Amino acid sequence: MSDSVWKVAVAGASGYAGGEILRLLLGHPAYLTGELEIGALTGASSAGASVGELMPHLPQLADREIEDTALDTLAEHDVVFLALPHGHSAEIGAALPDDVVVIDCAADFRLRNEDDWLAHYGPGYAGCWPYGLPELPGHRDELAGARRIAVPGCFPTGATLAAWPALEAGLIEPDLSVVSVSGVSGAGKKASVATLGAETMGSLRAYNVAGAHRHTPEMVQNLQEVAEDDVRLTFTPVLAPLPRGILTTVVAPLAGDVSTTQARAAYAAAYKGEPFLRLLPEKQQPETQHVLGSNMCHVQVAVDPAQDKLVVTSAIDNLTKGTGGAAVQCMNLALGFEEAAGLPRAAVAP
């Protein structure tokens, strides 16, 4: 390993998360100056195929071949992104040398409570790593120089960024209803009847409701950090016929007499200095198209005075801020780069 060039590997490179990480790395200032080198690109079923064949949107890497995911190969790198299905990262992460920065995009190291893991993922709890959501109070310091990082889930990212300022400021009771509408790329690249175009076009479908979704305990874990009382949360995910993006609505009872002006002031204070959080002008609602391909989270907050409820909406790109962008943001903190390096704030439009 070189002190002058950071060598980076991506395991699961041909999946949606792996491809997004590579897209962002190719525009990273350190890559453009030669300080960062893209090394091994590994996969399982895609091993032996070329990047150009699998991901023609990455022309700089078109001639590269996807390799088998071998531990010895990954260990030769300074940074390893694990863009693998849940349950596949734990063994690799534990076996890689301590001086390698390992950034896991799966759920294997997100949950602190073993019972939560067993209830939602099954046997094989592997422990927890520093949680890769820098905007959540206290986490940026944990990520600076870290050698093991767990990237948050996409749904928890949108919900946490929307809700934590209200809980921290004591604006709401810790009894939240969260509804997130997501594009089909959140289900991954593996072929599935449920995500076929013929099954999703022109239709909306809720799934894994009433506490069944795996991201529910992760949301509670995050929000519990800033809440004085136990957090109660109901999560309803909805599949929508769009490739990428998540629109989240959080509704919670007010904890007293709170106006929209007061709520907006609390959010403006919480988001101050955060490069990827934007409180929109009053009455302008977040739209997934306005964060497409960016690492931004757009947020709106308002009080429903008739019902004494706070309503918060957020929009993220599930593959950027929700996965690949978060992973690169964490890499920047771990390696000492500028946190926003290589991460677009401008979206693709129209």
What is the Cα 235 distance to its own chain's centre?
Answer: 17
Rounded to whole angstroms, the Cα distance separating 102 from 96 reads 8
Helical axes 154-168 vs 216-224, angle rounded to 10°? 30
Bridge partners, residue 195, by sequence: none
Cα–Cα nearest to 313, from 325, 326, 323, 304: 304
Strand-strand pairing, 67-68 and 309-316: unpaired
Q: Is 154 a catalytic residue?
A: yes
Give the active site residue among 105, 154, 297, 330.
Answer: 154
What are the phi and psi torsion angles at 262 (to 5°)? -65, -40
Bridge partners, residue 150, by sequence: 104, 131
Q: How many CB atoms lie within 10 A of CB 140?
A: 14
Q: What is the DSSP string of 48-110?
A: T-BHHHH-TT-GGGTT-BPEE--HHHHTTSSEEEE---TTSHHHHHHHS-TTSEEEE-SSTTT
The CA-atom distances, in angstroms, between 347 and each of 12, 103, 294, 301 are 25, 25, 5, 22
Q: In one letter, which amino acid is 306?
A: A
Bridge partners, residue 301, by sequence: 312
Rounded to whole angstroms, the Cα distance separating 18 from 41 reads 9
Q: Is the peptide bond before 350 cis (omega within 30 degrees of 0)?
A: yes
Residue 265 contacts residue 226 (beta carbons within 8 Å) = no
Question: Which sequence positions are flagged as catalytic?
Answer: 154
